[in-house]
Amino acid sequence: MNIDSIHNGVVIDHITAGCGMQLYDLLGLSELECSVAIIKNVSSRKMGKKDIIKIDADIPVNLDVIGYVDPNATVNIIRGGVLVEKKTIDMPQLLTNVIKCKNPRCITSTEQELPHVFRLTDREHKIYRCIYCETKAN
Amino acid sequence: MRSVISILDLSVAEIDGLMQTACDIIANPAHYADACRGKKLATLFFEPSTRTRLSFEAAMYELGGNVLSVSSGSSSSAAKGESVADTAKTVSCYADIIAMRHPKEGAPYVASLNATVPVINAGDGGHNHPTQTLADLLTIYRQKGGLGNITVGLCGDLKFGRTVHSLISALSRYEGVKFALISPLELKLPSYVKNDVLKKKGIPYIQTTDLVSVMPELDILYMTRVQRERFFNEEDYLRLKDSYILEPKKLAGARQDLCIMHPLPRVNEISVAIDSDPRACYFKQVLNGKYMRMALILKLLKEAGTL
Give me the pLDDT at residue B262, please.
96
- Amino acid letter, residue B205: Y
Please report the residues numbered 213 through 252 in chain B whose beta carbons come closer than 8 angstroms to any beta carbon of chain A: none
C-alpha distance from residue A13 to each of A20, A47, A55, A91 (Å)? 10, 11, 11, 16
pLDDT at A69 over 80: yes
Give me the pLDDT at residue A73, please.
96
pLDDT-derived band at A5, boundaries 50, 70, 90? confident
The predicted model scores a pTM of: 0.91
Strand A117-122 and strand A74-79: pairing? unpaired
Q: Are B150 and B179 in contact, with CB atoms under 8 Å apart? A: no
- Over residues B17-21, the mean pLDDT reads 98
pLDDT-derived band at A74, boundaries 50, 70, 90? very high
The CATH number given to whatever domain includes residue B29 is: 3.40.50.1370
Residues B265 and B202 occupy one common structural domain: yes
C-alpha distance from residue B93 to each of B78, B87, B89, B90, B115 (Å)? 17, 10, 7, 6, 9
pLDDT at B77 over 70: no
pLDDT-derived band at B73, boundaries 50, 70, 90? low
Topology adopted by domain A9-87: Alpha-Beta Plaits (3.30.70)
- Over residues B10-30, the mean pLDDT reads 98
Residues B86 and B168 occupy one common structural domain: no
Q: Which of B105, B126, B196 sits opposite A107 (nearest CB)?
A: B105
Give me the pLDDT at residue B79, please.
67
Q: Which residues of A touch B106 (CB under 8 A)?
A: 106-108, 130-133
Q: Where in chain A do CATH 3.30.70.140 domains reside?
A: 9-87
Residue B106, domain extent: 7-128+287-303
Q: Write down the mean pLDDT value for chain B.
A: 93
- Cα A107 to Cα A117: distance, rounded to the nearest angstrom: 12
Tell me if B2 is assigned to some domain. no
- Over residues A38-55, the mean pLDDT reads 95
Q: Which of B83, B106, B196 sits opposite A133 (nearest CB)?
A: B106
Q: Which of A109, A121, A132 sits opposite B109 (nearest CB)?
A: A132
Q: Which residues of B are catalytic?
A: 51-52, 80, 101, 129
CB contact under 8 A, A131 and B84: no
CB contact under 8 A, A110 and B104: yes
SS3 call for B234: helix
ipTM over 0.85: yes
pLDDT-derived band at B235, boundaries 50, 70, 90? confident
CA distance A132 to chain B (A): 4
Residues B117 and B197 occupy one common structural domain: no
pLDDT at A62 over 90: yes
Count of domains observed in chain B:
2
pLDDT-derived band at B112, boundaries 50, 70, 90? very high
Which of B77, B105, B159 is the mutation pick for testing A, counting most A CBs within 10 A? B105
A85-110 confidence digits (pLDDT tens): 999 899 999 999 999 999 999 999 99
B87-105 confidence digits (pLDDT tens): 999 999 999 999 999 999 9
Polymer length in residues for chain B: 307
> Minimum mean pLDDT among A35-44, A82-91, A107-116, B68-77: which range?
B68-77
pLDDT at B151 over 70: yes
Residues B150 and B215 occupy one common structural domain: yes
Give me the pLDDT at residue A113, please.
92
